Amino acid sequence: MQTLITGGSGFIGSHLATLLFEETDDDIILFDDFSTGRSSNVSHLTDHNRVELIEGDVIDKETITPLVQQSDRVFHLAAAVGVQRIVDKPLRSMRTNLIGTENVLDAAVDDQTPVFIASSSELYGKAEAVPFAESDDRVLGPTSSLRWSYASAKAVDESLALAYYRDHDLPVAVGRYFNIVGPRQTGQYGMVIPRFVEQALENKPLTVYGDGTQTRSFTHVTEAVKATYELLTTPEAHGEVINVGAPEATSIKELAERIINLTESNSEITYIPYEEVYSEDFEDPQQREPDVSKLESVLGWHPTTDLDRILNDIIEEQTTVTAST
């Protein structure tokens, strides 16, 4: 069996590739434009003849179509990554999400190739009724704030996936990721945990955007990719949108305090207004917590790794990287 992972050298894609390599006999094609992914993320796999790393862009229909058509299943993870990148390059982000997803789905129709579509909890926007269930209404800000362009594009991705399922019987599953974190993630594009860990290890101030009362639920990447694989291989998940996340929520202020404690850092916490980091019209959701009952019903489990274990894994990796440089 051949499996294609778009965004295969990215943070989540590389962990999914590792899972597939270790737990299946699949030949694996990793497709990436390296805008945020890194070949070093999959260097432990690419020396094996079962794994091939191909550079390319999902927007390029002539390139991605034959790769989808020669594969037996596709995990479509290629997307813009991080709030900072979305704000800085909104048009590129939207094109990747919209055109890339349609290219993958369209190429999969003829052979009825199963496709997993990675979506995001960004879709819930500024909704306040937590935990967020898949059928909840979405609350977004105005289109003049490009911060919401990612949520809008991902919503169209989901609608495309469901339309291909209903109109073409394409076996497709959609996973809405909630703050997936773990080793290999970089803080370069606004990811809060690796940024805080790096600051703490260097005894620099941990920079909290806003007042720190906003809450997030963090999911260990190993559990996220396990759910990703199982959703595509579980027929009951086809034609469904399902939250992929851990239900434990914590405030960003508390997150900073826990990281300082776990790293035994001398860092202090500083608070920076959003407009100094992004723009005057920037809005950040106050809370992000998943209802995982649907995931539990379909797969029989949901992510349970506690936050301290997640943080320690990232701290250990960052400490090792720092010691080797």
Q: How many angstroms separate the CA atoms of 204 and 265, rounded?
A: 9
Selection from 313, 62, 94 nearest residue 182 by Cα? 313
Q: What are phi and psi of 237, to 5 degrees?
A: -90, -10
150 is a catalytic site residue: yes
> Could you give the count of Cα atoms lying within 13 Å of 212 in the half-sphere of its Cβ?
14
Tell me the CA end-to-end span of the chain in Å, nearest whole number. Answer: 40
Selecting among 150, 164, 229, 278, the annotated active-site residue is: 150
Rounded distance between C-alpha atoms, residue 274 and residue 14, angstroms: 31
Q: Closest Cα partner for 101 from 62, 157, 26?
A: 157
User: For residue 128, what are the β-bridge partners?
Assistant: none
SS3 66: helix
What are the residue numbers of the active site? Answer: 150
